[in-house]
Structure 1
Amino acid sequence: MDKPLSGKNALVFGIANKWSIAWAIAKAWHEAGANLIIGYQGERLKKSVEDLLSELSGENPPLAYPCDVTDEDQIIQFFSKTREHFPKIHILLHSIAFAPKEALEKNFYETSRQDFLKTFEISVYSLLALAREAKALFSDGGSILTLSYYGSEKVISNYKIMGPAKAALESAVRYLAYELGKDGIRVNALSPGPINTLAARGITGFTKFLKECASKSPLGKNTEASDVASAALFLAKDESRAITGQTIYIDCGYSIMGF
């Protein structure tokens, strides 16, 4: 069986449960031969993540360590533990986003300062924080990936504060791609269509929107997590060496449609 990522070391942030896009990507990278270390958000998710990782077989079972991206000390400790196992890394997935429930229920203009700052800290600044610590471990260059959404450039009525946050995230991708390019590090965002994850179900009217996207997309269907994993696998491989600073849509064509 072909193992295009054999010998590659990957860090994955953002696995919460079996529906997570990050989990689909982690599985694809593992099956392609990558060695994985997972960063999970606190003790609450520890057992869930460990149970999922137990499903992955192979000579090098994935490792998992806590990494609260709002805590600089935990980020530093995570990368200290990473260095104990990996002398260098080749791939990093940032699949982290959060907005307080209140911010998703109010009008956007009613967003509080506290909720705005918390959303941007976790959903955007965390990419910078992880990239900064990871930079020294990308001694042979490599690929950093994050996840965005179409609400970054068009208004999705119930997406609220997350739209501006994803817009900022995509801008951060471009600036990181520019600054890290001299070190051979590529930075890209994947922008999937709506996927039936646990987090997405928290958005009002999501089920209706899911059906609408399927009916209007050129391919007449919704995106699956496995579709995103396939794109993430390509961007982790050397064949994607000339792609950086991009937001790549994986939405069955929905984003190209006008009225």
Structure 2
Amino acid sequence: MPTDFLQLAGKTVLVAGVANKKSVAWHIARLLTEADCRVIYSVRSEARREQIQKLAGPDATVLVCDVEHDEEVERLCAEVAADCERTGQRLAGLVHSIAFADYDSVDGEKGGLKPFHETTKRAFLRTFSISCYSLVALANGLKDSLADDASVVAISISTTEMASENYGYMAPIKAALDSSLVFLAKSFSQFSRVRFNGVAPGLLKTSASAGIPGYVDSYLFAEKATLREEAVKTEEAAAAAVFLLSPRSSGMNAQRLVVDAGMRTNYFDADIVRAVVDRG
């Protein structure tokens, strides 16, 4: 007889940042659905809502929220609160899978990227607002809709200490996201048992990553650098997120769960070193 190992059946989770069927958020939502967990989807625009509604089915709850605008965040939180009141069930979890880098505004050319020290204030602050502060805003706005033992999971990156030039100022933003998880965990501990953790995957093949200048080359290198010489799959990152959402991870709080197939241990792999030496 099958058992509900994840203990998510019958619960409700809000997944914010669903873009398309390649996104981490979508894979998380699908795994939650398979676990008999109800998913509330949050997307950026009405056009995206129509797209996700087709993927999720006509009965799915798909809400629109562009987190760059405070009034839309407030509306989303009000809609979720109304849903909780209607169903008599608070959120068991929140997934924050929202990231946007305003690369184009750095030098005025699509795909162009200036050195980090030339990052514009406008680009940096806009990216921070959407990709990091939105977590704080959503957590605060949804605090009364979250169950006392709810789990909040944000999607980060495997390392923010490696200066990947083509990733530009997004890594410092993700570092701020990681730190925000810790501070939110401490802040919420004053009145609840809500947990805040992050999934930190290596390079993934998603639609969002395709917009990063030079990403394909970095992806191919990362694949070679993993211990298995196979890139991390989006499904693997999603599975880690679902574990963190579940009561099975109840002992984890203010943590980053790295999912990189061992890449961070393997930069001096003999084949990689030989390729550089032979080229030189």
Q: TM-score, normalised by structure 2?
A: 0.86
Structure 1 CA distance for aligned equivalents of residues 225 and 172 of structure 2: 24
Q: Name the counterpart of 2:155.
A: 147
Contact 1:173 1:188 in 2 (8 A): yes
Select the residue among 124, 146, 150 that pairs with 1:116.
124
- Where in structure 2 are the equivalents of 1:206-225 lying within 5 Å? 206-225=215-234
AA in 1 matched with 2:95: L
| Counterparts of 1:157 and 1:203, CA distance in 2 | 11
Partner of residue 6 from structure 1, selected from 9, 14, 23: 9
For each residue in 1:199-237, what CA deviation from the matched residue of structure 2 results, as whole angstroms up to 9, or x when unmatched? 111122222222211211112211111101211121111
The alignment status of 1:254 with 2:263, answered yes or no, reads yes
Residue type of the partner of 1:33?
D
Q: Quote the residue 1:94 is aligned against.
A: 96
2:189 alignment partner, SS class? helix
Out of 227, 237, 247, which is 2:236 matched to? Answer: 227
Identity across the alignment (%)? 31
Q: Which residue of 1 aligns with 2:187?
A: 179
Q: 2 CA distance for matches of 1:166 and 1:235?
A: 19
Figure out how many residues of one structure are paired with residues of the other and give that number. 254
Alignment correspondent of 1:80: 78
Tell whether 2:131 aligns with 1:133: no
The structure number with the bigger radius of gyration is 2
How far the C-alpha of 1:72 sits from its partner, in A, is 1.8
Distance of 1:100 and 1:121 partners within structure 2: 11
| CA deviations over 1:49-104 (Å, ceiling 9, x no partner) | 1111129xxxxx43011111122221122122212222411100000011113246
Distance of 1:112 and 1:90 partners within structure 2: 39
CA shift for structure 1 position 139:
3.3
Unaligned 5+ residue runs, structure 2? 107-111, 269-280
Check whether the contact 1:151–1:159 (CA below 8 A) recurs between aligned residues: no
The RMSD of aligned alpha carbons is: 1.6
One-letter code aligned to 1:209? S
Contact 2:225 2:267 in 1 (8 A): no
**Structure 1 residue 167 displacement after superposition:** 0.7
